Amino acid sequence: MSGFAEVSKNLSTAAISMEKPIPALLAVSKKQPIEKVLEVYGEGQRDFGENYAQELDDKAKKMPADCCWHFIGPIQSNKIKLIAKNASWVHSLSSVKHATILERELEKLNKTISVLIQINVDDESSKHGITDIKDFVELAKKLKNSNLIMLKGFMMLPRLNKSKAELRTLGLKINEYKKMLYEIGCTDCVISLGTSSDYQEAIELGSTLIRVGEKIFGNRSQ
């Protein structure tokens, strides 16, 4: 069984056992050779995640046109043009400044894009994302007023190996953010939460999209 088939099976089995919806699978292809990405494409995967704008641009040129590219890495202002050009989804938007630049680039391309707001849920200095709920609401309202940026939900990268009490706290935070989005009109909320290391907890918490890389593709190129 291939890595892709095994991961897909594990996600389905876990979700069904918890009586939860089966989350979508995002194949994180960063630093993976194009040959491996094409293999997984051949198995039926269409959604691929990239962390670096230049690598996204390079791969998008080489892969079939029906791939759906998700940009999931930290956003740099000078790379937003490439992101706007190639991505159908951005998971890591966390500032009004970047939203303004992205909207400007999309206008030039006459294109729309689906966006998730990145939340730094554990307030870790090593991770990007919004930490203040007021900032989240401000950005969410701006995006809901855009004709080119489609606000779909949020993305979180929580610390691994949380205790049961910490997971309950995280669940409460997730519900709070979902409620805020619902109140401004984002009723079908996408939650990008969980990797191969914590997908079971993520599914239990309501994740609708799981991000998996090496378990699908094997070890990354250095």
Asked if residues 53 and 76 have their Cβ atoms less than 8 Å apart, the reply is yes
Residue 210 has pLDDT above 60, yes or no: yes
Q: What pLDDT does 124 receive?
A: 83
CA distances from 149 to 9, 100, 102, 143, 214 (A): 33, 10, 8, 6, 30
- Give 126: exposed, middle or buried? Use CB within 10 Å, 0-12, 13-18, 19+: exposed
Asked if residues 69 and 82 have their Cβ atoms less than 8 Å apart, the reply is no
Instruction: Give the C-alpha separation, 137 to 20, whole Å.
Output: 28
Q: For the chain, what percent of residues have pLDDT higher than 70?
A: 99
Tell me the pairing of strands 190-192 and 68-71: unpaired
Q: What pLDDT does 222 receive?
A: 54
Closest CA to 85 of 94, 95, 73, 104: 104
- Give 160: exposed, middle or buried? Use CB within 10 Å, 0-12, 13-18, 19+: exposed
Q: What's the pTM value of the predicted model, to 2 decimals?
A: 0.95
Q: Which residues pair with 150 in a beta bridge?
A: 114
pLDDT in tens, 166-185: 999 999 999 999 999 999 99
pLDDT class of 1 with cuts at 50, 70, 90: confident
DSSP state of 49: E
Instruction: Give the C-alpha separation, 127 to 85, whole Å.
Output: 25
Residues 6+ apart with CB under 8 A from 68: 46, 47, 48, 88, 89
pLDDT in tens, 67-82: 999 999 999 999 999 9
Give CATH for domain 3-216: 3.20.20.10
Which amino acid type is present at position 152? K
pLDDT in tens, 112-131: 999 999 999 888 888 899 99
Residues 6+ apart with CB under 8 A from 199: 10, 11, 14, 23, 207, 210, 212
